[in-house]
Amino acid sequence: MDRFDTIPETALTWFRDGIGAALATVVQTWGSAPRRVGAQLAVGGDGRIEGSVSGGCVEGAVIVEAMEAMADGKHRLLEFGVSDEDAFAVGLACGGTIKVLVEPVGSALPAALLGDLVEARAARRPVAYVVNTQSGARALTSAGFDERFRMDRSGFEEDGETFVAIHNPPLRLIIVGAVHIAQALVPMARIAGYDPVLIDPRETFGSDTRFPGETILNDWPDEAVAQLGLDARTALVLLTHDPKIDDPAIEAALRSRAFYIGALGSTRTHAKRVDRLTAAGFSEAEIGQIHAPIGLDIGAAGPAEIAVSILAEMTAVLRGRAK
């Protein structure tokens, strides 16, 4: 999955600065494409670009079409056949077809609509940009595309004309307990597209020395979680074994829309956790949201393998494959 980019924001800024802008979006691919459906390229009225739709083999032609689209105010649906030779040069296994939708901002793509999209992205609100590539009808919606949102999957609907671009907030991983497992999990999560945040009131554990360059909050988890917020694109992992530290974060998560809650500890440890949460007024269904013992059962031994099992379980839950 591509990490959260700023292509729509860039295009809007260029338009508002008077430079002019067009957005080019990959709407369909055939073959082993270097850029997934939904990837975007912003083209400025002065020829500047940001982003990519193919890795280099069709960008030149897209830029020419984008400049013409800005001149006449009409969107374009382009189709490029990529030769075997060109495809190999940009990382394709073989030749194929790429379809690209080019939309000039301010005419075909209203600036106000693009502004609403940018605002939703900034507020971490999942939103779908829906455009009919024939009629040019456009809208933003947060409803009706549950499967696409869950799978981060942009694409055409069955009519072959309606393209749905999914704009999900970046995935976020909140780890309570800056322990040795976290040292392995943080870099793995970054590779998988998560923005990790560490919470540990114990500064000896949650230090820059142990986690260089990472976001570390040396606060109590209930305060830190309240500050960060827990939404449907957030996973919470609890690694301390200490109820004083873990439980406040678990309680906050059970009242949230966090897609994953995982807690380290044995079956016996979790049974005690269940008793505490039951006494605190949580229902069996609410407590059942907790994945504990944490991680898929892969026979993990050692911090790195445990981190692999946690990340695998998070992915399975996110993609609807968890049992």
Domain holding 252: CATH number? 3.40.50.720
Cα 287 versus chain centre, distance: 26
Look at residue 2 and tell me if it is in a domain.
no
Under DSSP, the state recorded for 106 is T
Residues 145 and 102 in one domain: yes
**Does any domain span residue 256?**
yes
How far from 248 is each of 76, 87, 258, CA to CA, in Å? 52, 53, 15
- Same domain assignment for residues 85 and 131: yes
In this structure, the answer to whether residues 249 and 186 fall within a common structural domain is: yes
DSSP 105: B
Instruction: Give the model's pLDDT for residue 86.
Output: 55
Q: Are residues 175 and 161 in the same domain?
A: no
Residue 107 structural domain: 7-167
Please tell me whether residues 180 and 55 are part of one structural domain. no
Residue 54 has what pLDDT? 80
Are residues 218 and 88 part of one domain?
A: no
Confidence of residue 267 (pLDDT cuts 50, 70, 90): very high
Last residue of a domain, one of 167, 195, 227: 167
144 and 179 in a common domain: no
User: Does 149 fall in a domain?
Assistant: yes
Residues 133 and 234 in one domain: no
Sequence-ordered list of residues with C-beta below 8 angstroms from that of 115, at least 6 positions apart, any chain? 12
Please check whether residues 222 and 128 belong to one and the same domain. no
**Which residue's entry shows tokens 């942009």?**
154
| pLDDT tens digits, 272-286 | 999 999 999 999 999
Beta strands in the chain (DSSP E): 21-30, 40-44, 49-51, 76-82, 96-104, 127-132, 138-141, 155-156, 162-167, 171-176, 194-199, 215-217, 234-238, 260-263, 290-291
Residues 58 and 197 in one domain: no
Same domain, 177 and 297: yes
Residue that is last in its domain, among 167, 182, 206: 167
pTM of the predicted model, to two decimals? 0.75
Q: How far is residue 231's CA from residue 105's CA, in Å, rounded to a whole number? A: 31
Q: Which residue has the tokens 């400025």?
A: 44
% the chain with pLDDT above 90: 76
d(CA 212, CA 232): 28
Count the domains in the chain.
2
Q: Which residues pair with 176 in a beta bridge?
A: 199, 238
Domain membership of residue 323 (yes or no) is no
**Tens-digit pLDDT profile for residues 119-166:** 999 988 999 999 999 999 999 999 999 889 988 899 999 999 999 999
